[in-house]
């Protein structure tokens, strides 16, 4: 197969400009309609709701986007890619983002890779108490969920590879708290053999062999979902997604 110098795929947005307003009454099923976009990423979720969408945060240096989730359990919004990345063909894969939350209550956060990023995107994994419940068939990323007993800690979740992850949250807890109104840099990497790594503020927190399938095609997403009748949100400084081009197709 012919190749060129464009072997590296890099998607990046620091949210200094374009935004997707809340309450986008877009009928996804209508002919010709597609998911709205912000920079190189698409926005999925319950975008027809009046409190849901993505907006710029004026006056916050660097440029930040606010993902405004929904005031219903399991409803929210994600910024991400299509399901276009295969670990074995495009790896190593990486997603990195810097996030900040005004509060840690009434919200569920997922940052990483998943094989499901439909227009009405759902959480790849839900959580209650100390129990993690898979939703998507293949994923790898960070979860912070106010419904967990340890509701302020980041958890390393994965599914689909040779290793079966525990469904007990204490086995997946990274012992790294999020703090309201303070930013953190989160990074997930997946190698061509399915090994995954989780970094927080540049420090390696976990390495897991056989975390995901090497052949299932995945999307990179940063998402926020509500858990109660109070709307949830999360501020995002930037999102970077890295992969390698597969020249064999």
What mean pLDDT is predicted for residues 132-156?
Answer: 96
Q: Over the stretch 172-190, which tens digit does the pLDDT of each residue have?
A: 999 999 999 999 999 999 9
Q: Are strands 131-134 and 125-128 parallel, antiparallel or unpaired?
A: antiparallel
The more confident residue out of 152 and 54 is 152
Q: Over the stretch 12-21, which tens digit does the pLDDT of each residue have?
A: 999 987 655 5
> What domains can you pick out in the chain, each with its CATH number?
10-244 (2.60.120.560)
Q: What is the per-residue pLDDT for 30? A: 42
Q: Note if the pTM is more than 0.85.
A: yes
What mean pLDDT is predicted for residues 124-153?
Answer: 95
Query: CA angle 220-226-230, nearest 5°?
Result: 150
Output DSSP code: residue 130: T
- Percentage of the chain with pLDDT > 70? 91
Question: In Å, how far are 14, 60, 193, 244 from 21, measured between CA atoms?
Answer: 17, 17, 39, 32
């Amino acid at each position: 197969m012919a190749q060129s110098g464009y072997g590296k795929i890099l998607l990046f947005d620091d949210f200094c400009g374009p935004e997707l307003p809340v309450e986008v009454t877009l009928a996804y099923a209508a002919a010709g309609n597609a998911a709205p976009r912000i920079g190189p990423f698409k926005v999925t979720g319950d975008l027809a709701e009046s409190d849901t969408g993505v907006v710029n945060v004026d006056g916050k240096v660097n440029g930040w986007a606010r993902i405004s989730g929904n005031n219903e359990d399991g409803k929210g919004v994600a910024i991400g890619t299509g399901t276009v990345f295969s670990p074995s063909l495009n790896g190593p894969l990486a997603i990195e983002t810097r996030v900040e939350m005004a509060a840690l209550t009434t919200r569920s956060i997922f940052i990483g890779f998943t094989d499901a990023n439909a227009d009405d995107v759902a959480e790849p994994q839900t959580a209650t108490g100390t129990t993690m419940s898979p939703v998507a068939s293949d994923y790898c990323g960070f979860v912070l969920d106010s419904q967990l007993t340890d509701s302020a800690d980041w958890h390393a979740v994965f599914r689909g590879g040779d290793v079966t992850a525990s469904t007990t949250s204490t086995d997946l807890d990274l012992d790294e708290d999020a703090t309201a109104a303070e930013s953190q840099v989160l990074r997930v990497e997946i190698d061509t053999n399915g090994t995954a790594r989780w970094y927080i503020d540049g420090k390696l927190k976990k390495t897991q062999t056989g975390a995901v399938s090497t052949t299932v095609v995945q999307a990179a997403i940063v998402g926020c979902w509500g858990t109660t009748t109070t709307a949830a949100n999360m501020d995002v400084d930037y999102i970077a997604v890295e992969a390698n081009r597969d020249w064999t197709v």
